[in-house]
Amino acid sequence: MKKLVIATRRSRLALWQAEHVSGLLKSIHPGLEVDLLALSTRGDELLDQRLDKAGGKGLFVKELENAMADGRADLAVHSMKDVPAELPPGFVLAAISAREDPRDAFLSGKFSSLAAMPEGTTIGTSSLRRQAQVTERHPALQVRLLRGNVETRLAKLERGEYDAIVLAAAGLVRLGLESKITTRLEADEMLPAPGQGALGIECVAGRPEVAALLAPLADAATTTCVRAERTVSRALGGSCSLPLAAFAELRAGQIRLRALVASADGRRVLRSEGKGTDPERVGEQAADDLRRQGAEEILGL
């Protein structure tokens, strides 16, 4: 193949991610032409609703998959935390690239940390996972819905609509906005979403010529960790309507996986931790442990 077309969302972060993958492909395959097809998705358009109420993570990928299915695009680049645990039939994740900082970031012009926020002050997030973990540790804070792209969310903070907000650190780093971060939240305080910080490259199954071009982009360690995290999500329903977190680290060939399921109000939080060498097995064991603790009751499964 001499040319590839990447389907991408129109947000500045999504375009950065697509351009990043384009640059990698052109450096690995000299002479390859790569174009971008920028599309608007339902997830970008529904800015006044929680994603769990509007249809879930698939709202960010469906239009991109349609473009691949009808031949307008050869691949799509996603933030892995936005990719449903189960892909539609006919699509595959051809590569998961090296992970950026997987942590969440606390941003505030008023306070140095979550612990420093007084009773009744407001913190913005669109994530049930973040909401549950904030509320568990800081029940006196008011957690309010915050939607929109990174720049929109930052503008709302700067206008004083929120006293603080929580965003993924990776997106801020990629956009050159690292200086906006007040502090990074360690995994013990805010366990990340499955796949957070990693980029996934999706294509239509049965296109070996595309898969061969994408294969060098895969990072083995990141792929192993994300597979373990996504196994937990898939085993427990795989939807962003679940207040679910999972984060794996790989050291000396050993996977350490931490997983969490919570009620949205933070009153019930279940945690599991496991180790092993097979990512799917470690993920399944964590999901089984969470079920034994009552995860299905919390999640309404």
pLDDT at 205: 96
pLDDT at 51 over 70: no
Q: Are residues 251 and 175 in the same domain?
A: no
Starting from the edge strand earliest in sequence, which strands make up the sheet with 3-9, in order? 33-39, 3-9, 75-79, 199-204, 91-96
Looking at residue 186, what is its pLDDT?
Answer: 97
Helix (H, G, I), strand (E, B) or coil at 246: strand
CA distance between the termini of the chain = 45
How many domains does the chain divide into? 3
Confidence of residue 50 (pLDDT cuts 50, 70, 90): very low
pTM: 0.90
pLDDT at residue 158 tops 90: yes
- Domain span holding position 254: 232-299
Length, in residues, of the chain: 301
Cα torsion for 244, 77, 278, 263, to the nearest 10°? 0
Q: Say if residue 140 is in the same domain as residue 167.
A: yes
CB-CB contact of 243 with 264 (8 Å): yes
User: 118: which DSSP letter?
Assistant: P
Do 76 and 214 fall within a single domain? yes
Say which residues have a Cβ less than 8 Å from residue 253's Cβ, sequence separation at least 6: 277
Q: Write out the catalytic residue numbers.
A: 82
The CATH number linked to 12 is: 3.40.190.10
Average pLDDT, the chain: 92
What is the pLDDT at residue 54?
42
To which residue do tokens 């720049």 refer? 151
* 274 and 138 co-located in one domain: no
Domain CATH for 290? 3.30.160.40
